Structure 1
Amino acid sequence: MIPYGRQSLDQADIDAVVEVLKSDWLTQGPTIERFEAAMAERCEAAFGVAVCNATAALHIACLAAGLGEGDILWTSPNTFLASANCGRYCGADVDFVDIDPLTWNLDAQALERKLVAAERTGTLPKVLVAVAFSGQSCDMRTVAELARRYGFTVIEDASHAVGARYAGRPVGCGEFADMTVFSFHPVKIITTGEGGLVLTNRPDLAQRLCRLRSHGMTRDPAQMDEPSHGPWYYQQIELGFNYRITDMQAALGLSQLTKLDGFLARRRELAARYLRLLAYLPLTLPTLQAEAESAWHLFVVRLQTERLTLGHRQVFEGLRAAGIGVNVHYIPLHLQAYYRDLGFVAGDFPEAEAYYAQAISLPLFPAMTDAEQDYVIDQLKQLLII
């Protein structure tokens, strides 16, 4: 089975983890700080806060933004559950902004129209989670302008976009978002096994993120409400969580980071081959928005079902039967049972629903060979020309 995504590990990665295993620190040691600093430097950000996964990163980013009961979070319906669930964890209401029919990312024009209406009804969001779907940022310049106008915090969920660029700068630099979240799950661009990171340029947010990931406690006397009892002393000053990453994971992340440029180059090479070799099939291929340079976490095609004999599911199952581990990213969040119970119904976000009825994610990962890709393309052609 050719998977849709797969980690790329080598002996250097293994050696980096073994080195930590032989050290005095397995959990909260200096390797985490080195990984955070390296990621921040790579992305031209001031602060990096590493956590156990990107869901945890989204949660504490929302909390650091002050999201709570009575507030509203907006995000794209074309994303993984965590992009919306993070708002619900904070007690906030969640709503969605439909996607752009070309990039399949959050539609900035739809966002503006929704903000105009929300201002009239007093239902403006406190937080927008702007998802960098498949590896490219949405129209973050417009998003940032709207955030200044309407007063909401922007969290870019760049779980797919480690190493991507927008407007000539690294995603995560903080020019267009208050905080940026990355994922290091094994199918993502680089991996720590499980893991996530929040980047920000604001010291107040960084301080709170660090506190929230570790039970809401601090050893900093400046944050305490009484003098320290001694060198052992710490205080819990708010309700936090055990969202900490380990030195073992951070060591793997540091090793993977040294290979990021190579991973990106191969992903872009494979994406370019797909774009060239699939151009004449009854498919709608990915479109990059003007200022985005994608990391190509996913390569999604949309079946032009009106031109095909086989339906969406039949093509999907045909590819699986041929040993190709295709997937669908994503089922629109508002159609999930949990969100339907909150009042969302089919038809609320028609672009996301139309996309879902046609989308298939094809295999794309750095170790994928040209021969494997050619096989995927050949099998897809056979299904589409029946």
Structure 2
Amino acid sequence: MSTFIPYGRQSIDDADIAAVEAVLRSDWLTQGPAIAAFEEELARRASARHAVAVCNATAALHIACVAAGLGPGDRLWTVPNTFVASANCGRYCGADVDFVDIDPLTWCMDAAALEVKLEAARRAGTLPKVVIPVAFAGGSCDMKRVKRLSDEYGFTVIEDASHAVGASYAGRPVGCGDYAHMTVFSFHPVKIVTTGEGGAVLTNDPALCDRLRRLRSHGITRDRAQMDEPDVGAWSYEMQELGFNYRITDIQAVLGLSQLKRLDGFLARRRMLVQRYDTLLKNLPLQLPQLDALDESAWHLYVVRVKDNSAHADRRAVFDALRAADIGVNVHYIPVHLQPYYRRLGFKPGDFPQAEQYYREALSLPLYAALTDAQQDRVVAQLKRVLG
């Protein structure tokens, strides 16, 4: 019986285990020094001034929206081709959510479509307060154009770069803050590096950083300079606003810090596997992924499109056949606007045709640093068999 090949998985080595064990034997399991060390290294790797680590990327998106001042009566725009958290974070704040269709080649937010939608929204008086472009599969959208539009229309850019730890855009690390006010990373086990569960917000704005730190911990500060009554005593703390318990633990943070030491190796292996896929699949009836010319993707996902007008097997047949062969292909993503919750808000099929057509054809193939050449060859052989 063949061994199951998942679409993604973590890579944990003895150094990771030793790092976690050391924390378990230390005085600090949470709110200790490992968190600051992880944040400092994450910010350094991304060329950002500040990183605020939290319990997961959904929490990171939420507090980023709160820090941006998003609330009832405001609007957040993102893409349909993403995990639901990229939209839900706006709903958590009581804001209205809308979507911008995707580029048919990169499958990220179409910046031209964003500009057209912004022009119409300005005439209608319905401009967004926050726009969340998503670095789908590990590569950014046209962030230069998004930044120009942000300057013109006055919205806050929060890049959901959950897929893009270690990626670069226009020669600079994703997260550096050149094109986004805040950037969110994810450290879920199938992502580039993992903390088990975890996320972070990166920013270059010290005021945003201070607020993000308060928001992740109940809205509380112990910084006397920020207190209304600074001379109460060394035990003092103040709840300055309504925050959340979104803290990450030292156990998670030290795992992330250990994983970051292998980030370059993870990225190199993923990129090598992508090159092999590109070569091995080039003659099959598939649309292979394409990047913006400015991107160096982190390659969280390798997505192909099984053309639905092909004379060969359709996407569902290919998916089922590969799963039956113990190959854990997946689909990323069901368009968010087609989820029942969002349909009840008024969205319907046909609203975002590029994202919907992409969804009918998309298939995520296995891609992770520990994937062997032999396993990848098995994936390709099964694809060739199914596509005939």
TM-score normalised per structure 2: 0.99
| Post-superposition offset of 1:291 | 0.6
**Which one of the candidate residues 227, 231, 234 is aligned to 1:228?**
231
Find the aligned partners of 2:245 and 2:132 in 1 and give their Cα distance: 23
Instruction: Tell me, yes or no, if structure 1 residue 310 matches structure 2 residue 313.
Output: yes
Where does residue 258 of structure 1 map in the other structure? 261
Where does residue 303 of structure 2 map in the other structure? 300
Tell me whether 310-319 or 177-186 shows the greater mean CA deviation: 310-319
Where does residue 73 of structure 2 map in the other structure? 70
Find the aligned partners of 1:309 and 1:109 in 2 and give their Cα distance: 33
For 1:112-127, list aligned pairs within 5 A: 112-127=115-130
The 3-state SS of whatever aligns with 1:2 is coil
Where does residue 332 of structure 2 map in the other structure? 329
| Post-superposition offset of 1:308 | 3.0
Instruction: Tell me, yes or no, if structure 1 residue 204 matches structure 2 residue 202.
Output: no
- How many positions carry a matched residue from both structures? 385
Find the aligned partners of 1:44 and 1:288 in 2 and give their Cα distance: 22
Where does residue 144 of structure 1 map in the other structure? 147
For 1:1-386, list aligned pairs within 5 A: 1-385=4-388
- Gaps of at least 5 residues in structure 2 are none
Find the aligned partners of 1:252 and 1:366 in 2 and give their Cα distance: 17
Cα contact 1:74–1:129 (8 A) shared by 2: yes
Moved over 6 A (4+): none
| Post-superposition offset of 1:309 | 3.5
The 3-state SS of whatever aligns with 1:115 is helix
Letter of the structure 1 residue corresponding to residue 229 of structure 2: E
TM-score normalised per structure 1: 0.99
The 3-state SS of whatever aligns with 1:342 is coil
Find the aligned partners of 2:141 and 2:251 in 1 and give their Cα distance: 33
Find the aligned partners of 1:123 and 1:272 in 2 and give their Cα distance: 44
| Post-superposition offset of 1:293 | 0.5
Find the aligned partners of 1:182 and 1:325 in 2 and give their Cα distance: 24
Find the aligned partners of 2:105 and 2:313 in 1 and give their Cα distance: 23
Find the aligned partners of 1:182 and 1:14 in 2 and give their Cα distance: 23
Letter of the structure 2 residue corresponding to residue 118 of structure 1: A
| Post-superposition offset of 1:305 | 2.4
| Post-superposition offset of 1:241 | 0.3
Cα contact 1:211–1:240 (8 A) shared by 2: yes
Cα contact 1:308–1:384 (8 A) shared by 2: no
CA-based RMSD? 0.6
Find the aligned partners of 2:312 and 2:254 in 1 and give their Cα distance: 50
Identity over aligned residues, as a percent? Answer: 70
